[in-house]
Copies of this chain bind each other. A is one copy, B any other.
Amino acid sequence: MSAVLETRTGKGEATRERILEIAEASVLAKGFGATSIDEVIAEAGLTKSGFFYHFKDKNALAREMVRRYVATNDRLFDEIFARGHQLSDDPLQAFLISLKLLAETMGDLPNGHPGCLIASICYQERLFDREVRELMAQSVRGWNARFRNILDGIALVHPPREPVDLDDLADMLSCVIDGGIIMSKSLNDQSRLERQILLYRSCIKLMFAAPPAS
């Protein structure tokens, strides 16, 4: 199931990677339906036959794109939350640090966040087979569970000041990111995403941090 993640050595793997990268950029800019294979292969410098040697059809391309996107994203999250954990032993502080890092990372992207592939697919679901849709749902569940775990750790040490559903609060991070990306893109203002993540961070602080001595 995860043999895909092994690093293959052949030259073909480099071509595959190139195709996936170009296709992802195109999908995020025009959508999957409007992403033409001809354009992709032109930019990748190979022929249609070459493309279909690597991918059985467009849906196979979509599957690999999602796998690649999820893997990349997971790696980023691993890094950022590990870093937070290194910098503080307190789970709340660690999370707050990680959120700050995440916000900075998003704000420092050269041309703004290119877009969330999951969101793109979700707005074109009828184009994909069950496998792609299942892959997408699974990855979202994975991210939510990851955030929920962190919140659980925090709640043990810092009981929330008001009753709050930790599942919803975990979901909210993904929502804020996806919404922030959309707002950044539609207003052509990169800072919105960063600021939304920082605002989510403020909410977390308000929910868990002890009130100032009064």
Which A residues have a C-beta under 8 Å from some C-beta of B? 28-35, 115, 118-120, 122-127, 136-137, 140-141, 161-162, 164-165, 168-169, 171-172, 174-180, 182-183, 185-188, 192, 195-196, 198-199, 202-203, 205-207, 211, 214
Contacts and interface: CB of A to CB of B under 8 A. Distances in A.
Contact of A31 (B34, B179, B180, B207): B34
Contacts of A122: 182, 185-186
Given A118-B182, A206-B203, A211-B211, A187 B30 contact: no
Contact of A119 (B30, B123, B161): B123
Given A125-B29, A126-B30, A196 B182 contact: no
Contacts of A141: 187
A59 B206 CA distance: 45
19 contacts: A30-B33, A31-B32, A31-B124, A31-B127, A32-B33, A33-B33, A34-B34, A115-B123, A122-B182, A137-B188, A164-B199, A171-B192, A172-B179, A175-B182, A175-B183, A178-B182, A203-B206, A211-B211, A214-B214
B127 A34 contact: yes
Q: List the number of copies, as a whole number.
A: 2
User: Which 9 A-B residue pairings sit nearest by Cβ, starting from the closest?
Assistant: A33-B34, A175-B179, A179-B179, A33-B33, A31-B124, A178-B179, A31-B31, A29-B126, A30-B126
Contacts of A198: 168
A123 B172 contact: no
A75 to B, nearest CB: 21
B30 A185 contact: no
Contact of A171 (B33, B137, B188, B195): B195
B199 A162 contact: no
A159 to B, nearest CB: 15
Contacts of A31: 31-34, 123-124, 127
